[in-house]
Amino acid sequence: MFDFDLRQTLLLLPGILIGLTFHEFAHGWVAYRLGDNTAKHQGRLTLNPIPHLDPIGFIMLLFFHFGWAKPVPVNPYNLKTDAKQGMLYVSLAGPVTNLMLAIVLAVLLRLGIFSFMPEVYQMAVWAVYINIILAVFNLIPVPPLDGSKILAGILPGNTPWMHHLESYGIIILLLLLFTGVIGHILGFVINPIVGLLLP
């Protein structure tokens, strides 16, 4: 649903930029550490948000609260470890980084670091929410989300059905989104985490 409020958007913007940037950087950094230089060669091993932003996905995120960043390119055949295990680590890196960011920000909030200005405090609170949402949302095991690659890495043997599912992943994701299933999942998981972290 279209929902745009300039003040609210400005409060959300730092959390969105930080969350998306660190998420994609983490994917590329872990892939690089495992031997794949693809992200580095394409200028994606950076904490500058601009190379990670997809213009349409970013606009969608601001106006409709559902969007995406540019996926970091990874060649699993360049990874030093087993490709399946390597992609498991690469895929986990994004959600884990978002969760770590949420924890760090929550600790700083509890220490009163952001209390010098109400707007900055609100930005930090929203950044916690956004990073938890990104972590949980990306763990949903539907392509092209990280959760699908994590699930493929955990399951024994080959998972060719997962690759076939990728053709329908976006359709499945949109159906889950517009039927409210994803909203219920996020609310069920996120609310207890937020309640635990935020003061």
> Given this model, what pLDDT does residue 86 score?
94
Residues 15, 101: Cα–Cα separation, whole Å: 10
Q: Is 24 a catalytic residue?
A: yes
Catalytic residue among 18, 24, 76, 91: 24
Average pLDDT over residues 185-196: 90
Nearest CA-CA partner of 1 in 86, 54, 63 = 63
| pLDDT above 60 for 2 | no
Kindly report whether the global pTM for this prediction surpasses the value 0.85. Answer: yes
> Given this model, what pLDDT does residue 30 score?
98
